[in-house]
Amino acid sequence: MNPVYQRRRRLNRFVMVLCLAAALFGIAWLLMILVSLLIQGLPALSPSVFFERTQMSGGGLGNAILGSLVMTALATVGGSIIGIAAGTWLAEYGGRSHLANTIRFINDVLLSAPSIIVGLYIYAIIVLPMGHFSGWAGAASLMVLIIPVVIRSTEDMLLLVSGTLREAASALGAHRWWVVIRVCYTGAKAGIITGILLGCARISGETAPLLFTALNSNQWVFNLNSEMPNLPMVLYQNMTINSFIPAKVDLAWTGALILTAAVLILNILARFISARKG
């Protein structure tokens, strides 16, 4: 056989074996995490975990789950509206203009901005002036985190919609806004929803920004103006300052299992919907 061809084939086989090894390596680590989550989290899982509030020694996670749901929902709705609008401008109107490039660059920075910085920022602009921690501050910090994710995915997905579709709609007499809303959004819908859900999954597990904004509480709190219980902070506190109480650590693992399961279910649901419509 041709020596050049043999060399190319050898190189190919070598790289592909490396890729296989990488896949096995990565998937093994990740499986290990899931398995230990199941082993440590399942024993304490019971209906009372969902319906009882947090107490000094154990109790349930009901109030924390509710608080997390409220803050995540608020942040996701607000962040999606702002993010989709801004992403639309970047993709449809901004083009390669100086302003659009600047916004894109800033958005990339915010996308990678450490979540703890966002926590400090909300602390400085909301918590300090108000004088107390609150659910609003927590939701605001989560919203700041989800906006760049939605902007990025909206823009990317709109740019994937082919220009001929836009031209065809325009040729039929559709106005620009109508083209964007009916043609571009339809074409990019699955991608935008995926982006929102990725962002939602990200903020539902964020702990760092809530440290200085929503803090935590042992009560059933429906008042967004006071400290707000939330699942990630319960996990953090149970694993650090309360880690000497075994019941608290067990509860933290159960909470971790619930949180992870919620994120996964959310993702699977989104894939199901976008697969059916797309």
Is 76 one of the binding residues for another protein (CB under 8 A)? no
Is 232 one of the binding residues for another protein (CB under 8 A)? yes
Contact residues for 185 (Cβ-Cβ < 8 A; gap 6+): 192
Shortest spacing between CB 182 and another protein, in angstroms:
13
Report the residue from 45, 69, 110, 224 that binds another protein according to the rule CB under 8 A: 110
DSSP 93: I
Is 130 one of the binding residues for another protein (CB under 8 A)? no
Shortest spacing between CB 33 and another protein, in angstroms:
5
Q: Under rule CB under 8 A, how many of the chain's residues touch another protein?
A: 88
Residue number, 31 or 168, with CB nearest to another protein? 31
Is 38 one of the binding residues for another protein (CB under 8 A)? no
* Exposure of 38 in the CB half-sphere (CA atoms within 13 A): 5
State which of positions 259-278 bind another protein (CB under 8 A).
Answer: 259-260, 263-264, 267-268, 271
Report the residue from 38, 58, 121, 274 that binds another protein according to the rule CB under 8 A: 121
Shortest spacing between CB 115 and another protein, in angstroms:
7
State which of positions 153-182 bind another protein (CB under 8 A).
Answer: 160, 175-178, 180
In three-state secondary structure terms, 54 is strand
Q: What is the dihedral of CA 30, 35, 40, 43, to 10 degrees?
A: 150
Is 224 one of the binding residues for another protein (CB under 8 A)? no
The alpha helices in 89-184, defined as continuous H runs, are: 98-112, 115-122, 128-130, 135-160, 163-171, 176-178
Residue number, 40 or 219, with CB nearest to another protein? 40
